[in-house]
Each structure stands twice: as C-alpha cells, then as structure tokens.
Amino acid sequence: MKVSAQKIWFDGKMVDFKDANVHVLSHSLHYGNAVFEGTRAYKSDKGLAIFRLQDHTKRLLESAKITLLKCPFSKEELEKAQIDVIKANEFKNNTYLRPLIFLGDGEMGVYHLKSPVRVAIAAWEIGAYLGEEGLEKGIKVKISSLIRNSAKSSMNKAKASANYLNSQIAKAEAIDAGYEEALMLDEEGFIAEGTGECFFIVKNGVLITPPNDFSLKSITQDTVIQIAEDLGLKVLRQRISRDEAFTADEAFFTGTAAEITPINNIDTRVIGNGLRGELTKLLQNAYFDVVYGRNAKFASMLTYI
C-alpha cells in the first residue's frame, strides 16, 4: 500500500508530509510500544464522512491506557485533529486515517514511562485492502502455524503495534504459501481472528462469529452484527473450530480495512460453492449502504467533514 499526502498532523500541528519525521533512537522503534487506529472516511453524497470516529478514538485512548502511554491530547482534540487532517489534504475520495501514539527519543531502556509520548495522525486515499477482486470473488486463506497472541502474555484489546509482530509473520507465511491472508487459532485450537480482521461463518442461515476472547474488539464486526440483526438474521457469538470453518456454507472477514471480504477457500477446502455467498453479498451491500450514508437508521455512525 503506497501512501501519499500533503500534510500530517503531528503533536498538535499540521506539518508537511516530508517533515513528519522521528529520530532513529525513538523508544517505540526499539521496544515496540505504540498504539494506533485504522479508520475510514467514505465518499458519501454529502461529502466525506468518517465512519465511527468516536468509537475508533475511544479505542485508541483505551489502547494507550492498556499499554501505559499517557496521551497528551483529549478525545475531543483527537477527533477534531482527524477531521482537520482530511480537510488539510483536501481528499476527495475514500480515505484511511492512521492515528498513532508512540514514544519519542530521549530515554533508552525497557522502562518506558520517562519517554516522551508523541501523537501523529496521517491520512491517505485508499481502495479495497484485500483487492477489489477479493471483495467480489473472495480470497484464499491459510490457517497459520502461529497461535494468536495469548491473553496470558499480551493484551489483544489494545490495538498495539507489538501485537502485530504475530500478525506480520502469519501474513508473510500465508502469502509465501500462495494464499492471500492468514487465519490464526487461539491456544485451544479455535479460530481467533485474521491478521487484521475478524472472522464469520454462515451455517444453515445463521451467522456465527467468535467472542473477542482472542481478538481485537472489532468495530466492523460489531457493525455487521447490528446490520444482520436489523435484517432479521440470527447471529451467534460462539467459538468456531477449524473443521466447522471448513464445512461452513459461507465465510468472510470483517475489518475497517478489509470491510466485508468473502473467503472462498480455507487450507484447500472450498467454502460453499467457492463464490461469494448469498448472505455475504447481502451483508456487504447493507454494510456499504451504512458506511456511505445511505441507511438513515445508522446515520449516527457517520461524522461528515
């Protein structure tokens, strides 16, 4: 994913893209403590609208609290800054927002509480994360040899940079093996999540998605559950085993970046008829109606620029 923008919001100021730099001795580069968000703004009929801005910003600050990063900006200041950075770049198309709270330079050593906390918000125009074709035809997924970070030793409710080492290795392994994404299991062998997505299956007309015991508390997963219930579909939050995934009628990923991406194959088992499933398509269309501001029932989820 190539990134291009004119301006980046950095520690309270709007700076030129080329000036948003850090020192090589920045603490986060060495010890991995940083938290971030991924938020989308969609090109609606009434201009760009940020989807669930307040929820993403709340999760950002909760992530910072979990990893002991004291953010010097309030939730309201961060929300305004995200709107400002889109305005400053004059983006006209779908945009991705990347707020990052991290530790700058000045102190080395594992003890991080003396390091300066810095905040940057970048934004760039974006298309489909797993490809336009992926949205329509689905993707091939490999169950990873890596187990998702354990609740005993890490904190998955934080969208923490450190948690993504596990994701990166799993994703690289899956791509190297000829797949498009990895699916990670929890310590007990049930499906946890993708490297940057939550997981759903459809079985006999019922939607099933795991509880967030071993995954990020996903805003898209929550949105999809709300939409499904609004459409009168039954949704179960329960653990999914590998064999249940193989024999699902439909399967898909959800995430801010991935939106709703159908899965057509897991570890060489064709899912359903190998095409985007009917309920997956119904939910995709309904999801796009919501994020593009075409469903008045969900209008409060949008912040217009």
Ligand X SMILES: Cc1ncc(COP(=O)(O)O)c(C=O)c1O
d(CA 29, CA 157): 21
Q: Does residue 141 interact with ligand X by CB under 6 A?
A: no
| Planar angle of CA 218, 190, 166, nearest 5 degrees | 60
- φ/ψ of 133, rounded to 5, equals -65, -35
Choice among 159, 203, 234, 297 that is catalytic: 159
Radius of gyration, CA atoms only, the chain: 19
Q: Which of 28, 63, 256, 264 binds ligand X (CB under 6 A)?
A: 256
Closest CA to 159 of 243, 92, 61: 61
Q: Binding to ligand X (CB under 6 A): which residues in 158-187? A: 167
| Contact with ligand X (CB under 6 A) among 198, 225, 248, 290 | 198
In this complex, which beta carbon is closest to ligand X, that of residue 32 or of residue 38? 38
Task: Supply the DSSP symbol for 233.
Answer: -
Respond yes or no: is residue 18 known to be catalytic. Answer: no
**Closer by beta carbon to ligand X, 115 or else 254:** 254
Give how many residues touch ligand X by CB under 6 A. 15
Q: Find the binder of ligand X among 95, 220, 261, 284 (CB under 6 A).
A: 220
For ligand X, which is the closer residue by CB, 73 or 200? 200
Q: And the tokens for 189?
A: 């062998």
Of 6-14, 18-26, 212-220, 291-299: span binding ligand X (CB under 6 A): 212-220
Which positions ≥6 away from 297 have C-beta within 8 Å?
230
The DSSP string of 48-96 is EEEETHHHHHHHHHHHHHHTT---SS-HHHHHHHHHHHHHHHT--S-EE
Write out the two tokens for 280. Answer: 């997956």
Which is closer to ligand X, CB of 250 or CB of 259? 259
Residue 78, CB half-sphere, CA atoms under 13 Å: how many?
26
Q: Does 255 participate in binding ligand X (rule CB under 6 A)?
A: yes
Q: Which of 216, 227, 260, 266 binds ligand X (CB under 6 A)?
A: 216
**Shortest spacing between CB 216 and ligand X, in angstroms:** 4
List contacts with ligand X (CB under 6 A).
38, 167, 193, 196-198, 215-216, 218-221, 254-256
Catalytic residue positions?
A: 159
